[in-house]
Amino acid sequence: MTREGFIQLFNLPTIMDEKVETLRAELQQVKQENNTIKVMLEVLSSKCTKLESHLQEILNNKKAEVKGIRSNQIGSVLNLDTNKRARLEFPTAKKPLQIFVRTHPKDDSLIINDGYQWRKYGQKVTKDHASPRAYFRCSMAPICPAKKKVQRCIHDKSILVATYDGEHSHDVPHESLKPSSSTPKGSSEANYFPTSIPRDKEGMNIDFALSGWETNRRTSEDAMQNHDNRSNIKAEEYVSSLIKDPDFTMALAEAVARTITDQKKQKDLNLNLDLPEE
Partner DNA sequence: CGGCTTTGACCAGCGC
Partner DNA sequence: GCGCTGGTCAAAGCCG
Instruction: Tell me which residues touch DNA (CB under 7 A).
Output: 82, 84-85, 87-88, 111, 117-124, 126-128, 133-135, 139, 147, 149, 182, 184-186
DSSP secondary structure, 239-265, as one string: HHHHHH-HHHHHHHHHHHHHHHHHHHH
C-beta of 150: minimal distance to DNA in Å?
11
Which is nearer to DNA, 175 or 274 (by Cβ)? 175
Q: What are phi and psi of 220, to 5 degrees?
A: -65, -40
Angle at 251 between CA 239 and CA 222, to 5 degrees: 45
C-beta of 241: minimal distance to DNA in Å?
32
C-beta of 129: minimal distance to DNA in Å?
7
C-beta of 88: minimal distance to DNA in Å?
5
Which is nearer to DNA, 2 or 181 (by Cβ)? 181
Which is nearer to DNA, 31 or 124 (by Cβ)? 124
Which is nearer to DNA, 30 or 166 (by Cβ)? 166
Q: What are phi and psi of 101, to 5 degrees?
A: -130, 130
DSSP secondary structure, 70-135, as one string: HHHHHHHHHHHH------------SS-EEEEEE--TT-----B-SSS-EEEEEEEE-TT-SSEEEE
